Structure 1
Amino acid sequence: MRKGYITVYLSLVTGILLSLLLTVIEGVRMHTIRTQTECVMDMAMDSALAEYHREMLEQYELFFIDMSYGGTSPAFSNTEEHIRNYMNMNFRPYELFDIPVGKDLTGLSADGVDLQQAAIASDEKGAVLKKQAITYMKDKWGLGFLEQAAVNAGLIQTGGFLGTDVELRRNETEKQVKEAILNKEEQEAEDWEGKNVELPSDVVNEARGEGILKLAVENSASLSRESIPKAALYTGRSNKMEGTGLPSGVELPSGVSDTCLFLKYVMDKCGYYNQIKDGSSFSYQVEYILQGKGNDLDNLRGMANQILLVREAANVAYLFSDGQKKSEARGAALLITGVLGMPELEEPVTQLILFAWGYAESVKDLRMLFDGEKVPVIKDSGSWNTPFSQLLTFRGHLSEYPRGQKGLGYGDYLQAFLFLESQEKVTERLMDVMEADIRQTKGNSCFRIDGCMDAMTAEASVSSGYGYQYSIKRAYGYD
């Protein structure tokens, strides 16, 4: 048996070396904990974003996390729990997979996750959704996209057709003529020749009473009459979820270019008359965005009347400036006032005839637009389609017009009116359309746009089996 000994010097050095070694091992453990936590947090955030809503991507090309995860109630806590679970899966993969491991030198687990910021699609009146839609359109079309919505709106505004109240002028003129004829009738005998004279405006007024869609659409019975569940959609709900808005450093969409790109997105992703979207909850979606009525027919009717007012203002303005057509109207007015024995009514009767003629042409314009044709914003003698000889029988000639004219089509008018409408209203009603459509798909009957998240900042609390506590914060989103 050998005897050993250790010097006092070696004893002192060994203690120092052991302390150094244990300190280095503990330092490595702490560094490993930090590094592992950062990697696991990044993977968990990526995994959470990978759970984007499939229908939002399929139908609208947008990436959002549905915080209900196919359930009935979206909540921030659902996403927090998903992130925490993903972290623990990556901290302890051997619990899920058959992986041979030795000693776990970190013993990490995620205790909790707190979403400190969350950008919800509907935040700031839909600015979060709008921003992502604009980004998608920029990627698709590039910055050189033609600002067609602004151009079309400018054509309508430049002519002053939005602020012109043709109906008010027509009513005032008609009232003046009718009162004068009534006074004359009271003064004349029963055999007065002018007693049964019918004005051209009377014939046109009969057509007005039929309803614009019966005139504008050849087969109005084929129009959709779907109801829209407005009360259950985004704009009809009072208990909306709210997030923290656009992430820090992200600017609100603004400017003509952003607006036009967004409106192009609306036109591409939503259906409208003659361009109905497959699988849609209701047919005339762009018309709903503009009119906000509770059923398809009312929205289409409202849109037709809105376009009619613009076309009537443009057509009447042209008639009053065209000497030849004014002469035709004046010739008819002379005959009528001659029979009435009221030459003083020549000018107002001429105006009534021009108003009636402008309305007849405007109805034909609508028929052309609903048939998929284009109509010039401002007419000339070559593009005028209703001859004076057809004024009293214009309803029987609505489908008689030359094809292939230049100008604006029905979709162009929709896009122009979208540009002129409140953009907040457009965005919010678009979210109604999205909810209604996605609820048609399997497993999404309770889908809510205000339960969809675009970006988030999360802080996770991590603990180690060796007594360490660590917190980490990450900001992730769909860039």
Structure 2
Amino acid sequence: MKNHKMLFRKAEGQLTVFMALVFFLVVSLLMAQYRSAVFYVRRADAERAAGLSAESFLAGYSRPLRDYYQILAVDGGFGQDTFQEEMLEEQLWYVFEKNVKAGFGAGNSADTEMEEPVFTLLIDGDWDFFLREIQLNRMDAAVSDGIAYIMEQWKEKNDRAAGDLSRKRAEAEARVEAESASADANEAAGQEGNNEQAEDAGQPDSNREPVTDPRDFVAEIWNQGILAAACPEDFAVSEKQCPMTDVSFPEAGQKIQRFIDFKDDASIQDLFGGWDGILEPEAGLRETVSDGAVQLYIMEVFDHAAAAESRVGHDRVLDYEVEYILAGNESDSENLKTVLWKLLAFRCVMNLSHILMSGEKGLQAGQTAALLSTALLIPQFTEVVAFLLKCAWAFAESLSDCRTLLKGGKVPLMKDDTTWYLTWEQMLHLDSQMLDGDSGTEGIDYQGYLQIFLLLMKRDTKYRRMTHLMEKNIRLLPEYSGFRMDNCIYGVQVVFDCDFGQGGMQRVQTALSY
């Protein structure tokens, strides 16, 4: 009988192979989790580096623009007049690369690249970002109803004044024609008698005091120029000048000056016609509601002619900055002339409205008009002369209003008998000292009238001229000699690629603005 040896596979060997398989499976899972963790950590590092790059970029805002005008924006020209795109890109890439290599497990092995960034300019075809900075933390002034009312009053009173003069002129001409026709129908003897009576009536009494025509002095003082006529005698007009031909957003200025003859009704009619568009309101006054914060901002960061002391702590190319925004001329004196003309026109229409509604003032002017028209042998034009005298009175009162405002006083929009300054007796003996006005404690001050004019001017023109002053004032600093508002950056969008090796390519995108 043969012996057979039985071979048995031990259980321990099976367990070893099974445990090895389990071990490799667990290790693979752990390695996969590790690789996944590394992937997400590196991605997080790349995203953090991209965010830090954008934040670091925007943290380099222009200090003068922030300190002077409370606007955050990066100077893309680094104080020069050209946009330094390569330097800006290098700045973004450098910060990203340094932060990536400082991240977990990256070291110097990470290879970084950057696509061409997209810069959001502070002023790029519109004023959205510019206005966002200005309106920040400022409440919009609810002024639409008030401004609409003022404009309605202005239009109504200006048109009514021009229409009254035209009507009175037409009535006077009709009376002249009627009298001429009646005279032709009369007999020759009666004609001669009437003429003799008219001549006797027209001859002034030798004992009568000569009639004073106040229009002569008003014309005399006006011919000295609006600065001499509308400024107080001790008012020192700034002589600063600054050309605005090299600014980012050029805007033409406005000069207003015209001859006025208060003895010629055609000249006064042309004057009222020219005042129709002097305030330059844009279509749709409701749009000015959102512009209320801009008015507050302008009065905070810019100076004007009637400021008791300068509120601006930095050097400026012009002293009358608000006047420049309204007029846009290169010299303080020209800007002040234009603003005073607007103010004079505004006040003259409002003052004339008060005279026309006042029976007592109308009677006083009418009596003088009767004497003047009789002395000039034109009794049929008494109503026209009376209206021209009222215009001269309103004009003189307006000159007094301008002087009061420039001295820091106040003038109400619509005057009454208690706030009226020049009496008719003063008009008949007028001199320059009588026009100096008073303290003016009731109504609106010079700054308030400037705000009205700012709200009624074209918004684009206003914003452009604001940037002119910002540029020019910042350029007074040596390191910002070429500063331009059109180079200022409000936000950035950029894409980074980062290769960590072994298939660890990461692409991250970031976008940030103020």
Comparing 303-312 with 457-466, which one deviates more in the overlay? Answer: 457-466
Q: Evaluate the alpha carbon distance shift between residue 36 and residue 163 of structure 1 in structure 2; reply closer, same or farther with a 3 A threshold.
A: farther
Higher Rg = 2
Partner amino acid, structure 2, of 1:429 = R
> 8 Å contact 1:60–1:269 — kept in the other structure?
yes
User: Once the 2 structures are TM-superposed, how far is the Cα of residue 472 of structure 1 from its aligned partner?
Assistant: 0.9
Q: Which residue of 1 aligns with 2:273?
A: none
- Taking the aligned partners of 1:167 and 1:229, their CA distance within structure 2 comes to 39
> What is the count of residue pairs matched by the alignment?
435
User: Once the 2 structures are TM-superposed, how far is the Cα of residue 161 of structure 1 from its aligned partner?
Assistant: 4.9
Q: Evaluate the alpha carbon distance shift between residue 227 and residue 360 of structure 1 in structure 2; reply closer, same or farther with a 3 A threshold.
A: same
Q: Evaluate the alpha carbon distance shift between residue 338 and residue 229 of structure 1 in structure 2; reply closer, same or farther with a 3 A threshold.
A: closer
Alignment of 1:66-145 (within 5 A): 66-93=75-102, 104=106, 107-116=109-118, 118-138=119-139
Residue 201 (1) aligns with residue 233 (2): no
Q: Evaluate the alpha carbon distance shift between residue 85 and residue 342 of structure 1 in structure 2; reply closer, same or farther with a 3 A threshold.
A: same
> 8 Å contact 1:368–1:374 — kept in the other structure?
yes
- Taking the aligned partners of 1:271 and 1:392, their CA distance within structure 2 comes to 38
Q: Evaluate the alpha carbon distance shift between residue 93 and residue 19 of structure 1 in structure 2; reply closer, same or farther with a 3 A threshold.
A: closer
Alignment match of 2:365 (pick from 304, 324, 329) = 329
Alignment of 1:301-380 (within 5 A): 301-380=337-416
Q: Which residue of 1 aligns with 2:152?
A: 158
Alignment of 1:432-471 (within 5 A): 432-471=468-507
- Taking the aligned partners of 1:262 and 1:385, their CA distance within structure 2 comes to 34
Comparing 55-64 with 464-473, which one deviates more in the overlay? Answer: 464-473
Q: Deviation string for 1:10-29 (max 9, x for gaps)?
A: 77666656654543443232
Q: Deviation string for 1:294-322 (max 9, x for gaps)?
A: 22211110000011011111111111111
Q: Which residue of 1 aligns with 2:72?
A: 63
User: Once the 2 structures are TM-superposed, how far is the Cα of residue 85 of structure 1 from its aligned partner?
Assistant: 0.9
Partner amino acid, structure 1, of 2:124 = D
> 8 Å contact 1:360–1:394 — kept in the other structure?
no
User: Once the 2 structures are TM-superposed, how far is the Cα of residue 36 of structure 1 from its aligned partner?
Assistant: 0.9
Q: Evaluate the alpha carbon distance shift between residue 212 and residue 341 of structure 1 in structure 2; reply closer, same or farther with a 3 A threshold.
A: same
Partner amino acid, structure 2, of 1:202 = D
Unmatched 5+ stretches in structure 1: 95-100, 139-144, 182-187, 238-253
Partner amino acid, structure 2, of 1:66 = D
Partner amino acid, structure 1, of 2:464 = E
Alignment match of 2:236 (pick from 197, 222, 245) = 222
> 8 Å contact 2:348–2:398 — kept in the other structure?
yes
Residue 265 (1) aligns with residue 265 (2): no
Q: Deviation string for 1:224-274 (max 9, x for gaps)?
A: 23223211112229xxxxxxxxxxxxxxxx955421012211121111112
Q: Which residue of 1 aligns with 2:257?
A: none
For the residue of structure 2 that corresponds to 1:459, the secondary structure is: strand
Q: Which residue of 2 aligns with 1:40?
A: 49
Alignment match of 1:405 (pick from 441, 460, 468) = 441
Comparing 425-434 with 212-221, which one deviates more in the overlay? Answer: 212-221
- Superposed CA RMSD in Å reads 3.5
Q: Which residue of 2 aligns with 1:232?
A: 246
User: Once the 2 structures are TM-superposed, how far is the Cα of residue 290 of structure 1 from its aligned partner?
Assistant: 1.3
Q: What TM-score comes out, normalization by structure 1 length? A: 0.80
Alignment match of 1:53 (pick from 37, 62, 68) = 62
For the residue of structure 2 that corresponds to 1:431, the secondary structure is: helix
Q: Evaluate the alpha carbon distance shift between residue 342 and residue 229 of structure 1 in structure 2; reply closer, same or farther with a 3 A threshold.
A: closer
Q: Which residue of 1 aligns with 2:182?
A: none
> 8 Å contact 1:119–1:454 — kept in the other structure?
yes
For the residue of structure 2 that corresponds to 1:280, the secondary structure is: coil
- Taking the aligned partners of 1:167 and 1:287, their CA distance within structure 2 comes to 28
Comparing 356-365 with 467-476, which one deviates more in the overlay? Answer: 467-476
For the residue of structure 2 that corresponds to 1:57, the secondary structure is: helix
Residue 274 (1) aligns with residue 306 (2): yes
> 8 Å contact 2:106–2:500 — kept in the other structure?
no
Identity between Structure 1 and Structure 2 (%): 23
Residue 418 (1) aligns with residue 480 (2): no
> 8 Å contact 1:216–1:364 — kept in the other structure?
yes
Unmatched 5+ stretches in structure 2: 1-12, 177-197, 205-209, 252-285
Q: Which residue of 2 aligns with 1:240?
A: none
Q: Evaluate the alpha carbon distance shift between residue 400 and residue 256 of structure 1 in structure 2; reply closer, same or farther with a 3 A threshold.
A: closer
For the residue of structure 2 that corresponds to 1:35, the secondary structure is: helix
Alignment match of 2:422 (pick from 372, 386, 409) = 386
Q: Which residue of 1 aligns with 2:207?
A: none
User: Once the 2 structures are TM-superposed, how far is the Cα of residue 113 of structure 1 from its aligned partner?
Assistant: 4.3
User: Once the 2 structures are TM-superposed, how far is the Cα of residue 392 of structure 1 from its aligned partner?
Assistant: 4.5
Comparing 119-128 with 440-449, which one deviates more in the overlay? Answer: 119-128
Q: What TM-score comes out, normalization by structure 2 length? A: 0.75
Q: Which residue of 2 aligns with 1:396?
A: 432
Q: Which residue of 2 aligns with 1:299?
A: 335
